[in-house]
Amino acid sequence: MAKEEVKEKTPSQNPESSEKDQTTTNKNAKNKNDKKDNQEDELVSFPNVKITSEEDQQLKSELEMLVERLKENNVELHRPALDSLCTLIRTSTSSMTSVPKPLKFLRPHYRELEDVHASWSESANKHFLADILSVLAMTYSDEGKNESLKYRLIGTNEEAGLWGHEYVRHLSTEIGQVFAQRVENEEPTDDLMKLALEIVPFFLKHNAEADAVDLLLELEAIHQLPQFIDKETYARVCLYMVSCVPLLVAPDDSAFLKTAHTIYRKLDKFPEAITLAIKMGDRELIEEDFESCQDPLVKKQLAFLLARQQIYLEVEDSDLAECLNNTHLSEHFISLARELDVLEPKTPEDIYKSHLENIRTGYSSGSVDSARQNLASTFVNAFVNGGFGKDKLMTTEEDSNSNASWIYKNKDHGMLSATASLGLIHLWDVENGLTAVDKYLYSGEDNIKAGALLAIGMLNSGVRGDGDYAYALLKDYVEEGNVTCRVTSIFGIGLANAGSAREDLAELLLPIVSDSTLSMELSAVAALALGLIFVGSYENDVPSTIIQTMMERDDVHLNDPWSRYLSLGLALLYLGKQDAVDATIETVKTIEHHIGKQTEVLLEVLAYAGTGNVLKVQSMLHHCNDHINKEKEDDLHQAYAVLGVALIAMGDDIGTEMSLRTFNHLMHYGEPVIRRAVPLALGLLCTSNPLLSVLDTLSKYSHDNDSDVAISAIFAMGLVGAGTNNARLAQMLRQLASYYHKEPNSLFLVRIAQGLLHMGKGTMTINPYHTDRQLMSPAAVAGLLTSILAFTDSKTFILGKNHWLLYSIATAMYPRFLITLDEDLKPVPATVRVGQAVDVVGQAGRPKTITGFQTHSTPVLLAHSERAELATEKYISLAHVLEGFVLLKRNPDYMEEDE
């Protein structure tokens, strides 16, 4: 304590010393401030500072002396002075945050040097000085004058890169600005283009691929890029270009895809090239890529890629045809199940786990409406055992002769769905499936027969056998017979041939669409089947026939709930076609009935599906703004507009995030019809991708006062968790089952959601995006939309007699596996790392593409946002994305002892 007091007193005891101290402190502060000023002013000489300041002083004097020499009339002194200036500027090193010293000290002389340049006569020295002025202008020139570029264009033709990276970047910025001005004033731009094409190779050489692409984009010359690309730079350039596509407006977006495709083809990267051809939806380009590939192994890999997208090409080689037709999909799926030990069939009770539901005794969940509960179990059983070929309800050994025991536990239309469930259980396995279903085709009960017809269609979904069994067996029932059988056989043909665009099927089904004596149900299902078959291809007679039918039918027919499938059938033809839909929209606007408005919205939605087009999302939200009087006009188009927001934003992470926020607003302020569609839109946006925030939101909506909102939300929970076995969602659904144990309709949907969650025992996905979320499967989108649209009037369709529409999800079902095959297409175990995918676009060096990985041996399952890569160099992958079927070949340079 005492010491402290002494310390405190000391200064006051000696007033003189305190004054001295004060002065010293002030001086120090002043010196510090002076230093600061010197640094900021960049030009003031540096007195009495460290040695470096003497060097700076010397450099400053030398530069001033060189400038004076340039002002003199002695021409012989000019060249050495310019050389010295050039050397000093080029060799000066600088940190990223400060301007190089020579540029600082030359600042006051910039205008003088400009005058000197103007006064000299035309000579090599004058061009050399222009080069130096161009570099100096980078730091001194006024905004908008673009003097760096001005002097560069009148300077020597020396390489711009010699002056450093920062200078080249500055130059490219000015080129972009001047180009825009010249285009506006209709002036020539050849000199700018020539300079830009000199700068691009420099950027590519120095890992600034993004700058090179951006410069050519500004000059509208992206087609010039492929000539500068080599095997070192192609991967980064193309990754950047493809990632830019969603952010560009037409026609730049397609120009980027075409240029990236050209680069891949130039370097013989066929899998990458064909992926972009599929993304562009250009059938001719796909065929050209496929035919141009000479390596038989790579060609098989391409065939697997096309099969995943359900694009069929005619080939003579039988091995290739098997890859293209997905012939061995079932076999590989069963081997995956064996590997994961999930072959054992599961019963619906294994899924429900009723013993965990806290329901008071006497209120067991089965006792409310046994037929409805059995129907739910039928669907759960079909989804859970889908693709495995055996279950404990339909394919049991003991009653293979009287295999009707479970079917007869369902009422009328329930029998239809029960028999049809065989199609899902034997999904992709055409031979065994047909054997199992065949006996029901001769049943005297129409519903059982109709179910068998639907099952045959489902079996063939996504695969093609040697013979076209589905068409051969179903075509006879399309023309005549019981209405139910006709409807299911037409729908079955649609499911079996989704995406095949077969003209002979159009000839079969178009008369049914246009025949106005038939019921709306038949015409609408025929239109829907044509939509599935010709999804994304509109250059045929189908659109005109469907529109004609809409115009000719009576209002009574058009008011039928089935009419929505006429609209969907038409809209599916334009999936992803963007502008091509405009003429059709104009035609549809002439229809006076409200189906015209509904079809118009659906057409616009599907044409821009997955594009992330902001303007279209806004136009959908405008539709949701209107407050419509339900009694006077129909408001169904608003539900489609809500689904449209999800469909357009799907596949784009930023768009998804923004639309989730939008849905929140719509739920708060929207009309009932909009509120009922929001959960369905959430389900569509995040299929098989159980994000926590979305699950919580849907869980909240599933307890909504409006039972339709709750029903939509429960189904959406099933879509979001489909095939993931998500434990949190399973718990939520069990709680919902006990919450709704007295309400058969809601309980029915809770069961279906549980079935979807455990689809394929957790080995499948129904997300339409695949190949590292780059490609959207049209058949999958069509199937999902068919079932989602049924929920816009759930009482008529799902809770009524047409619950079989749920089976349309079959076109979207696909195993989420990675199976590695050797050169003979036999499975070969390979070590892979599986982790969360990381976006590495434009990052320097070679960043890791996955994070938090685990190492597995194939076959493995991949979740929605996961990515796999080979862990060792033992094999070389022929596919650019490890997903689905991947062909591997031995690496000849690999040595075993490296392991």
Q: Across residues 883-892, what is the average pLDDT?
A: 89
Q: pLDDT at position 694, please?
A: 92
Alpha-helical segments (H) within 399-502: 412-425, 430-438, 446-459, 469-479, 483-496
Give the C-alpha separation, 173 to 474, whole Å: 64
pLDDT tens for each residue of 418-476: 888 888 999 888 888 888 888 888 877 888 888 888 998 888 888 887 667 788 888 88
Supply angle C-alpha 167, 171, 177, rounded to 5. Answer: 150
Q: Which of 308-312, 404-408, 492-496, 816-820 has the lowest mean pLDDT?
A: 404-408
DSSP 746-799: HHHHHHHHHHHHTGGGGTEE--SEETTTTEE-HHHHHHHHHHHHHGGGTTTIII
The band of 644, judged by pLDDT with boundaries at 50, 70 and 90, is very high
**Element counts in the chain: helices (H) and strands (E):** 41, 11
Give the C-alpha separation, 386 to 404, whole Å: 19
What is the three-class DSSP state of 895? coil
Q: Smallest Cα–Cα separation from 455: which of 812, 810, 814, 802?
A: 810
Find residue 860's DSSP bridge partners.
Answer: 818
Q: How many CB atoms lie within 10 A of CB 772?
A: 17
Both tokens of residue 412?
Answer: 């009328």
Q: Smallest Cα–Cα separation from 131: which of 75, 190, 87, 178?
A: 87
Q: Which of 141-150, 240-249, 516-525, 812-821 has the lowest mean pLDDT?
A: 141-150
DSSP state letter for 692: H
Both tokens of residue 223?
Answer: 């087609």
Question: How many residues make up the chain in this entry?
Answer: 899
Give the C-alpha separation, 750 to 756, whole Å: 10
Give the C-alpha separation, 688 to 863, whole Å: 8
Place of tokens 């001769």: 442
CB 834 within 8 A of CB 849: no
SS3 sequence of 351-383: HHCHHHCCCCCCCCCCCCCHHHHHHHHHHHHHH
Q: Which of 56-70, 81-95, 525-539, 704-718 has the lowest mean pLDDT?
A: 81-95
Place of tokens 């825009």: 180
Burial of 303 (0-12, 13-18, 19+ CB in 10 A): buried
pLDDT tens for each residue of 818-835: 999 988 888 899 999 999
What is the three-class DSSP state of 174? helix
What percent of the chain stands above pLDDT 70?
A: 89
